[in-house]
Structure 1
Amino acid sequence: MSPQQQTPEPPVAPEQSQRPVGGALIDEQGQEIPITENMIQQACRELEQNRVAPAKKND
């Protein structure tokens, strides 16, 4: 099969996105909370929603 004929990878299934991605948060009690792909995606969505364009300089 040539590279042009390959089908794109299917999207990540919801149950897979709950698996830890290699990091953890520490809560108030000192317990580790594994970071999941869903947590990262949610944080990116929040950042994008709160993004503000930089102020223009007056030269």
Structure 2
Amino acid sequence: MTQQQPATTTLRVIPLKPQQQVGGAVIDDEGREVPITEHMIQRACNELEKSFSNASQHG
């Protein structure tokens, strides 16, 4: 009997251009579809991170 090696997964991150679409859209106040960009996601993540650090300082 031979032992099987655990499967390893290599994750390769490919940076996108800041305004390249990432496959989704939001609808603005006037009903227009606005493509979601890498920059929008990064900004949202940064704001979320700030809100977590502010919450941990106050609670």
Q: TM-score range by the shorter chain?
A: 0.5 to 0.7
Which 4+ residue blocks in structure 1 deviate beyond 2 angstroms? none
Q: What are the within-5 Å matches in structure 2 for residues 30-45 of structure 1? A: 30-45=31-46
Q: Helix, strand or coil: the match of 1:34? A: strand
Q: What are the within-5 Å matches in structure 2 for residues 1-59 of structure 1? A: 12=15, 16-51=17-52, 52-53=55-56
Unaligned runs of 5+ in 1: 1-8
Provide the rounded CA distance (Å) in 2 between the counterparts of 1:20 and 1:47.
21
Unaligned runs of 5+ in 2: 1-11
Give percent identity, aligned residues only.
Answer: 49
Cα RMSD of the aligned pairs, angstroms, is: 1.9
- For these two proteins, the number of residue pairs brought into alignment is 43
TM-score (norm 1): 0.61
- Structure 2 residue identity aligned to 1:39: M
Q: Report deviation, 1:12.
A: 3.6
- Structure 2 residue identity aligned to 1:17: P
TM-score (norm 2): 0.61
> Could you tell me which residue of structure 1 aligns to residue 3 of structure 2?
none
